[in-house]
Structure 1
Amino acid sequence: MDLKKILWDFFFLLFETGSHSAGSLLRQSPQPRHTLHAGPRLSASASSKELLMKLRRNTGYSFVNCKKALETCGGDLKQAEIWLHKQAQKEGWSKAAKLQGRKTKEGLIGLLQEGNTTVLVEVNCETDFVSRNLKFQQLVQQVALGTMMYCQSLKDQLSTYSKGFLNSSELSGLPAGPDRDGSLKDQLALAIGKLGENMTLKRAAWVKVPSGFYVGSYVHGAMQSPSLHNLVLGKYGALVICETSEQKTNLEDIGRRLGQHVVGMAPLSVGSLDDEPGGEAETKMLSQPYLLDPSITLGQYVQPQGVSVVDFVRFECGEGEEAAETE
């Protein structure tokens, strides 16, 4: 038999069949058949998409990871969140181990005040680019909240002010604060997993004062926390503890000016009003030329204000490992 004839007959038959089928389909309305099956499928698809979007909003993880979490947990949103956090934490610990030893000279200082308690924290990262990232700033916020909760849990009867410091390991062990599971160390692992840089919870300082005392504060290069109105972030921070016999309306302004002086002049001790005025190299706070008016000393600025400077804390992002504790 001729091969060409066989092929021609085959293609002719195929064309005839295809045309007949197409004609039959055109003569029939396709709507009923599609309606029977598309409705439930579209509904299920929309529901899955909604769950996926909600999980991503809640966690901030990628669509791929969120989809995998929902598949693993059978569409259970709460279980999917737990699964994601566990996976991210594992990845964070793994990354932290790999990145350990890389220098973390950048980062942020966070200053948080609530009632009679003020905390100053420092969290470090490798680059200034990451320090501007929202997720890193949220980590600093968690550290500040965790430190504040720790301070407020201390049952002390204050007759005078109290001041304390927490080193890196002490900070890491604190509970993560409201709406977060685990410790601050766990939050650190999650942030490292998300941002891919080495980070450290460097230190924290806290001050609690009774009536008759006031804590002035200042953060250089200040920016507000993304979600906590009373948390301020920056590269330098200072707390200045003052004693005052009467409640003055301008205490906040005085406290801010004293904080600016501490950040700018970096004193090592308070000193006394009886000390001789010093020059640029002076390390006693009250004897230093006042930062905002070098024609007088800080002591000469403070004395007419009716307040006494009794102590201070100064943090500079990326400075030496030891916290700047002052006598």
Structure 2
Amino acid sequence: MSLLRSLRVFLVARTGSHSAGSLLRQSPQPRHTLHAGPRLSASASSKELLMKLRRNTGYSFVNCKKALETCGGDLKQAEIWLHKQAQKEGWSKAAKLQGRKTKEGLIGLLQEGNTTVLVEVNCETDFVSRNLKFQQLVQQVALGTMMYCQSLKDQLSTYSKGFLNSSELSGLPAGPDRDGSLKDQLALAIGKLGENMTLKRAAWVKVPSGFYVGSYVHGAMQSPSLHNLVLGKYGALVICETSEQKTNLEDIGRRLGQHVVGMAPLSVGSLDDEPGGEAETKMLSQPYLLDPSITLGQYVQPQGVSVVDFVRFECGEGEEAAETE
């Protein structure tokens, strides 16, 4: 229970605070002397075009120069050519790296309207998980999952919850402003970063009026470009039912999410269940993470909400079991 105790100390001391993770950006590419190719002159406009392609794509000057030469100076076609080449290289690297362990990575939590998604993308090292390009991949996976959920035409009388495994996730469209599938985006990221990566899983929850989804990400940092996407190593969604719209629902939902992350329950249980100790697996019977003198059920009951379900993701969990099998 050392993880649970350390989480409890952290959360009690810093309830409501989130430490912003630093984004490690790649060091700038070395400068290259530009030589005029057969189709690209060394004029100022050509250099400006080269710089623009470099800014748009993030690829090296050498590759951008080759793309413009190949495409006769057409910026749009050069971008397409670069992505295709990177994807080919990514597929090649993916085949070579397949089987290497991917225990690190990030959990991404995205909320839009009545829909919330939780995704997990894995890589080999924590260093790469802090890379901007890897975080952008997690963002694409979260957006692709959100688009899939919003496309489901279900009439909600109660909440709905679903899961996507690795192969289902890989086949989803990549989302706005991206061609191909999430699997294609994965290949591009592998080609750029040179590590094995996997799209591990996703969960989604949709709720009608009268329900609320509380959420929490441990070690949270904001997405580099999407304000409502949060990244971290642990994530939880807690589905609550409430008869009235309370002003403090967000705070209650965050506290419930903290409890799920820290205490790792296996089921919700009932308010009628007997209180248990730290080994208890029923959520409502567990000692409340932020005040172990009461159970979570005793914390929730006066709040006017009922806990009906939850989802918990821990980055890298299950990898050791999978290796054993």
Return the offset for 1:26: 56
User: Which moved further from structure 2: 39-48 or 257-266?
Assistant: 39-48
Greater displacement, 154-163 / 26-35: 26-35
> Which one has a larger percent helix, Structure 1 or Structure 2?
1
8 Å contact 1:313–1:324 — kept in the other structure? Answer: no
Shift of the 35–64 alpha-carbon distance from structure 1 to 2, 3 Å rule, reads closer
Q: What secondary structure, in the 3-state scheme, does the structure 2 residue paired with 1:24 have? A: coil
CA shift for structure 1 position 84 = 0.4
Report the CA distance shift for 1:246/1:96 in structure 2 as closer, same or farther (over 3 A): same
- In structure 1, how many angstroms separate the alpha carbons of the residues matched to 2:279 and 2:323? 19
Deviations 1:287-318 (A, max 9, x none): 00000000000000000000000000000000
C-alpha distance in structure 2 between counterparts of 1:278 and 1:3, whole Å:
19
CA contact (8 A) 1:277 1:287 kept: yes
Aligned match for 1:21, one of 13, 19, 28: 19
- Cα distance in 2, alignment partners of residues 133 and 21 from structure 1: 17
Q: Is the 8 A contact 1:269 1:284 kept in 2?
A: yes
SS at match of 1:325: helix
Alpha carbons 1:315, 1:324 under 8 Å: kept:
no
Deviations 1:120-167, CA, capped at 9 Å, x for gaps: 000000000000000000000000000000000000000000000000
CA contact (8 A) 2:166 2:200 kept: yes
Is the 2:117–2:205 Cα contact (8 Å) retained in structure 1?
yes
So what's the TM-score if we normalise by structure 1?
0.85
Deviation (angstroms), 1:80: 0.5
Contact 1:313 1:326 in 2 (8 A): no
1:268: Cα distance to partner?
Answer: 0.2
Which runs of 5 or more structure 2 residues have no equivalent in the other structure? none
* Residue identity (%): 98
**How far apart are residue 45 of structure 1 and its match?**
1.6
C-alpha contact 2:22 2:130 (8 A) present in aligned 1: no
Larger RCO of the pair (alpha carbons < 8 Å, separation 6+): 2
With over 3 angstroms needed to count, the CA separation of the structure-2 counterparts of 1:53 and 1:213, relative to structure 1, is same
TM-score computed with the length of structure 2 as normaliser: 0.86
Paired residues of 1:312 and 1:326 also in contact (CA < 8 A): no
* Contiguous gaps of at least 5 residues in structure 1: none
Structure with larger Rg: 1
Q: Tell me the SS of whatever aligns to 1:241.
A: strand
Equivalent-residue separation in structure 1 for 2:54 and 2:70 (angstroms) = 15
Assess, with a 3 A threshold, how the Cα gap between structure 1 residues 41 and 58 changes in structure 2: closer, same or farther: closer
Give structure 1 regions of 4+ aligned residues with deviation exceeding 3 angstroms: 1-7, 12-44, 321-327
Contact 2:108–2:118 at 8 Å: present in 1 too?
yes
Task: Note closer, same or farther for the CA distance 1:38–1:194 as it changes in structure 2 (3 Å cut).
Answer: closer
| C-alpha deviation, 1:324, in angstroms | 14
- Give the match's secondary structure for 1:252: helix
Distance 1:26 1:248, change over 3 A: closer
Q: Which residue of 2 aligns with 1:3?
A: 3
Q: 1:82 to 1:295 in 2, by over 3 A?
A: same
**In 1: Cα distance, 2:12 partner to 2:157 partner:** 99
CA RMSD of aligned residues (A): 21.6
Instruction: Say how many residue pairs are matched.
Output: 323
Check conservation: 1:119, 1:147, Cα contact below 8 A.
yes
- Confirm or deny: 8 A CA contact 1:313 1:325 kept in the other structure: no
